[in-house]
Amino acid sequence: MENKVQVFYDSMCNSCQYKFKKVISVAKKNALKDLDDLQVFLCTVDKNQSIEDDNDLVPLAFIFCKKDSYVFFWKEDLYNGDGSSKIKIVNDRLILSQATIDRIKEHNTNNNELTVVKKKQTQDITSKLISENSTSIVKHFNRQMAIMNRQNLLHMTKIKKMILSIGLVIILLLATLGGSLGWYFSTRNNISNGQLPNYNWRINLNEHLKDRDLGGIDNNVEETILAAVKVKNSVVQIEDLYVKDVTEISATVGVKSSSSLYDPNSSVEVNFEATFVTLATDVKQRSFPNVNLGENPDPEELMTIVKKANNDLRTDEVEIKKNIQKSNKTVTAELTVLKSSDRYLPNDTLKLYFSSDNRKLLSEVLTNKELGDIINKEPETIINKIGKLNPKVHVNEIELVSDSITSEQALIKVKMDSTDYIVNNDVIKVNYRVFNPNIGTFKKTVTNLSGNINSLILLANEKDILVGTTHGLYLLYPNGTFNKKIVDDRIPDDFKVYSMLKQKNGNILVGTNNHTVYQLFPDGSFMGVVTNTFDVYSMVESSPGLILAGGYDGEIYQLDSKGKSISEEPVTELEGTVHSLILLSNSKVLAATDGPEGAGIIGAGIIYELYMNGKQKEKKEKLSYSPRNIFELQDGTILLGMWHWGEIYQLNNNGTIKATVDIKKYNALLSFVQTTSGDLFGGTNDGSIFQLNNA
C-alpha cells in the first residue's frame, strides 16, 4: 500500500470505488481548485452531535456504504491559516454531525459542485468523465496525498516537541512538591503501564433490584429470599445472585463473580419478615476444636459447648440426636429442630463437629467464595485465587472435586489426608469469571497479503490455513507465513471472498461476489460451484445438513450442504449486513450485523441470538461500531473483530460484551483462526496476518 488513500480505496466495495472515481473526476474538472489540495478521511456520523461542533465545515463530498464512510475536503476549507485543523482528526478519522452531512448537497448545488453520494444512489454527475482513466487519477492523488501527509507529520512533530518541552518544565516544578508528585503519578499507574481503563459492561444490581421490602416470607432460606426478590422485581436475573448476612428480618443480596449482567461489586440489602429461620441463622460456629469428650459423649454436654459459642441459639427448641459418631479424633453430631419450635424451620438439620485437636471446618475459613476474574480455569489457578482471597486457608490441604470445573464455578473439598481441617463430604462452591485481558492482543505480524482478510479457516489436515480475501484465495503455513495463492482455471484469479465455512465433513464452502458459492474439497482444491440470488456474507452449519447464510441486507437464508439456497425467501431478516454467524460450544447461534445505520455510524452494530433454523430469537447486544467475525477459541474465549480499528471485544457465552481488548495495533480485525497447537491468528483490513496472544 502506497499510502492511506490507497488503503481506503482498496477496502471499498465496487460501488464505492465507482463513487470514489466520480468524486476525483469531478474535483479534477474544477478549474479553481488543484487536485493536490483535496484530502479524504474516514468519517463517523454522530446523529447526536451538534452542527456547531463542526465549526461550520462543509465537505466537498461524502460516500456512505456498509463497510465504512469517507469524506472529502478541500484543504483550504479544513485547515486554519497556521496549518491546524478546524476539527479534531484522530487516526485519519473525523466525526461529523448528520446536519453537516445534510448541508453538502445544498452547498454544492449553490456552488455547482458535488452532491452527497449516498448508499445505492445512482446519480450521474457526468457520464463523459466515467470513461476517463480513473486509475491514473487515483495514483496521482495518492502521490500528492503522501506529500501532504508528510507536511502534516512535520507540523505535528513540531507541536509534539513544544508540548514535550512544556511538560518537562511542569514536571520539574511538580518535583518540588515531593510526596505530592508521587501521589500524582500513583493515581495513573494504569496509564504508565500502558494499560487502558476498561469500561465495565455490567450494571449495578440496584438498577434492577429497586423494591427492597419483600414483606412476609415463609423462611429465610436463600432460595425463598431470591424468589421473593423476583416477585417484587420481575426484571432481576436471580440466577446471578446469592444471599449472605442472613437474619430473621434482613439479608444482603450479592452478585456472583460469574454474572455477565451485574457488577459483582454491587449488592443490595433487602428486608422481610420470616415466619421461620434456619438453624444456621443462630448457629454461626459448627466446629469446636480442642475438646476432650471421652468415650461416650453426652448430648447435653455437647449442647452446652454449642450454646457457649452461639449465644443466640434457643436450646429449648432444638436437640442433639443420640446417634453421635466418633471417628479418630473427631465427634460428629446432628442438631435438629423440635416439632414444638415456633422459630426454626421444621425438619432443618445442622452437622456439628467436636475435635480433640485443632481441626476446624473449611467453611469457617473459606468465607470469600466469590473469586472475581481468573485468567483460566486450571485447578492451580482456582486454588491460588482462593488462597489469595482467603489467607487463612491452607491451600495445600484442599482440592477440587473431580469434573466439577465449569466456565463459571467449581467445587472445593478437603483432602482426605488433611491435618488442619475436618474431613467430611461437604463441598464448597466457588464462583468466578474466566477473563484474560491479554487474549487477542497483538503479538507480531507474520504475513502481508492484499485486500481485506475476510475469512480464515484451518484445513482438514489441521496444518494449512485457507485465507479468503477481497483478491481471492491464499494458503498459509501452520505458522501463518505465506505459502501460495490458489490458482485454478475454474476459479477467477481475482475475486472477492466474503465468507468461508468448513463443514463437519471437511468440505469447504466459499461465499463470493456475483452470488457465487464455490465448493472445495477438504484440502482446498476445487470441487464445484453453485449460484444463488444473493451474496453470502457469512455461514454456519447450525445442524447436520443445514447451513445458515447471512446476506447484505440482513437476510438469513437456509442452504443445503452444497451451498445452494433451499428457498429463495429468507427465514428471517435482521438489521444490516450479516457479517458473522457462529454456533458456540454451548449450542447458541449468534449473528453479528452492521445494524440499521450501516458501518461508520455510532451505535451501528447488533449481536443477535438465532434459533437453529435461523429465525431470530432475541437481540443480545448493541455495538458502537460495525462488527465482523465472531470466533470461539479452544479454551472457550469468544472474540469479536470490529471494523473500528485497533479494537476487538471478548464476549460472554450468551453473546453480550465481556470486555474491550486493546489489540495495540491500528488495524481492523476481520477474521480469526486457531491452529491445533493453539496459535491464534487474525486477518486485517489491510492484508496483514497478525499472530495474536492466546493466553
Phi, psi of 449 (to 5 degrees): -110, -145
Whether 269 and 300 share a structural domain:
no
Whether 561 and 599 share a structural domain:
yes
Phi, psi of 678 (to 5 degrees): 105, -10
Q: How would you class 84 by CB atoms within 10 Å of its CB: exposed for 0-12, middle for 13-18, buried for 19 or more?
A: exposed
- How many domains is the chain built from? 5
Whether 519 and 619 share a structural domain:
yes
Place of cell 495514483: 139
Is 291 domain-assigned?
Answer: yes
Q: How would you class 598 by CB atoms within 10 Å of its CB: exposed for 0-12, middle for 13-18, buried for 19 or more?
A: buried
Nearest-angstrom CA–CA distance, 225 and 216: 10
Nearest-angstrom CA–CA distance, 619 and 611: 12
Whether 388 and 493 share a structural domain:
no
Is 534 domain-assigned?
Answer: yes
**Residue 10: in which H helix or E strand, if any?**
helix 4-11
Is 160 domain-assigned?
Answer: no
Whether 470 and 613 share a structural domain:
yes
Q: What is the 3-state secondary structure (H, E, C) of 39-100?
A: EEEEEEEECCCCHHHHCCCCCCEEEECCCCEEEEEEHHHHECCCCCECCCCECCEEEEEHHH
Is 189 domain-assigned?
Answer: no
Neighbours of 633 (CB within 10 A): 18
The pLDDT value given to residue 110: 54
Bridge partners, 217 (sequence order): 274
**Which of 583, 600, 683 lies closest to 638, judged by CA?**
583
- Structural domain of 304: 281-359
Place of cell 468466578: 432
pLDDT along the chain (695 residues), means of 10: 67 76 80 82 84 86 79 88 82 86 69 45 36 41 43 45 48 40 32 40 94 98 98 98 98 97 96 98 96 86 96 97 86 96 97 93 97 97 98 97 96 96 96 96 95 95 94 96 93 90 96 95 95 97 95 96 94 95 97 76 80 96 90 97 86 94 86 97 95 96
Is 524 domain-assigned?
Answer: yes
Q: What would the pLDDT profile of 198-239 be if each residue is shown by its tens digit?
A: 456 899 999 999 999 999 999 999 999 999 999 999 999 999
Q: DSSP string of 326-352?
A: EETTEEEEEEEE-TT-SSBPTT-EEEE
Nearest-angstrom CA–CA distance, 609 and 243: 31
pTM above 0.75, yes or no: no
Is 199 domain-assigned?
Answer: no
Strand, coil or helix: 391: coil
Place of cell 441470538: 609
Whether 246 and 298 share a structural domain:
no
Give the contacts of 135 (CB within 8 A, at least 6 positions apart): none
Q: Is residue 563 within 8 Å of residue 509, measured between CB atoms?
A: yes
Q: How would you class 404 by CB atoms within 10 Å of its CB: exposed for 0-12, middle for 13-18, buried for 19 or more?
A: middle
Place of cell 441463622: 281
Query: 503-520: string of b/e by CB count within 10 Å (b at 16+)?
Result: beeebbbbbbeeebbbbb
Nearest-angstrom CA–CA distance, 657 and 649: 7
Nearest-angstrom CA–CA distance, 578 and 27: 35
Q: What is the 3-state secondary structure (H, E, C) of 529-574?
A: EEECCCCCCEEEEEECCEEEEECCCCEEEEECCCCCECCCCCCEEC
Whether 258 and 333 share a structural domain:
no
Phi, psi of 49 (to 5 degrees): -80, 145
What are the grid coordinates assigned to 440, written together?
A: 487477542
Q: Is residue 87 within 8 Å of residue 94, measured between CB atoms?
A: yes
Give the contacts of 405 (CB within 8 A, at least 6 positions apart): 377, 379, 382
Q: Is residue 306 within 8 Å of residue 245, measured between CB atoms?
A: no
Strand, coil or helix: 161: helix
Q: Is residue 575 within 8 Å of residue 533, measured between CB atoms?
A: no
Q: Give the end of a domain, one of 319, 343, 359.
A: 359
CA 247 vs CA 276, 283, 312, 346: distances in Å? 11, 11, 11, 17
Is 172 domain-assigned?
Answer: no
Q: What would the pLDDT profile of 433-450 be if each residue is shown by its tens digit?
A: 999 999 999 999 999 998
Is 180 domain-assigned?
Answer: no
Q: DSSP string of 610-623?
A: E-TTS-EEEEEEE-
Strand, coil or helix: 475: strand
**Which of 510, 627, 509, 638 lies closest to 579, judged by CA?**
627
Whether 332 and 387 share a structural domain:
no
Whether 430 and 385 share a structural domain:
yes
- Long-range contacts of range 510-515, CB-CB < 8 Å, 24 or more positions apart? 510/468, 510/473, 511/535, 511/536, 511/537, 511/538, 511/539, 511/549, 511/563, 512/536, 513/14
Pairing of strands 508-512, 497-502: antiparallel
204: which DSSP letter? Answer: P
Phi, psi of 434 (to 5 degrees): -80, 115
**Which of 318, 211, 312, 313 lies closest to 270, judged by CA?**
211
**Which of 373, 416, 425, 376 lies closest to 398, judged by CA?**
416
Nearest-angstrom CA–CA distance, 19 and 122: 9
The separation between the first and the last C-alpha atoms of the chain, rounded to the nearest angstrom, is: 32
Bridge partners, 95 (sequence order): 44
Q: Is residue 595 within 8 Å of residue 545, measured between CB atoms?
A: no
Whether 46 and 61 share a structural domain:
yes
Q: Give the end of a domain, one of 414, 434, 454.
A: 434
CA 122 vs CA 15, 19, 118, 129, 411: distances in Å? 10, 9, 9, 15, 64
Whether 124 and 261 share a structural domain:
no
Whether 253 and 391 share a structural domain:
no
Q: What would the pLDDT profile of 368-411 be if each residue is shown by its tens digit?
A: 999 999 999 999 999 999 999 999 999 999 999 999 999 999 99
Nearest-angstrom CA–CA distance, 388 and 530: 59
Strand, coil or helix: 432: strand
Q: What is the CATH number of the domain that holds 568?
A: 2.130.10.10
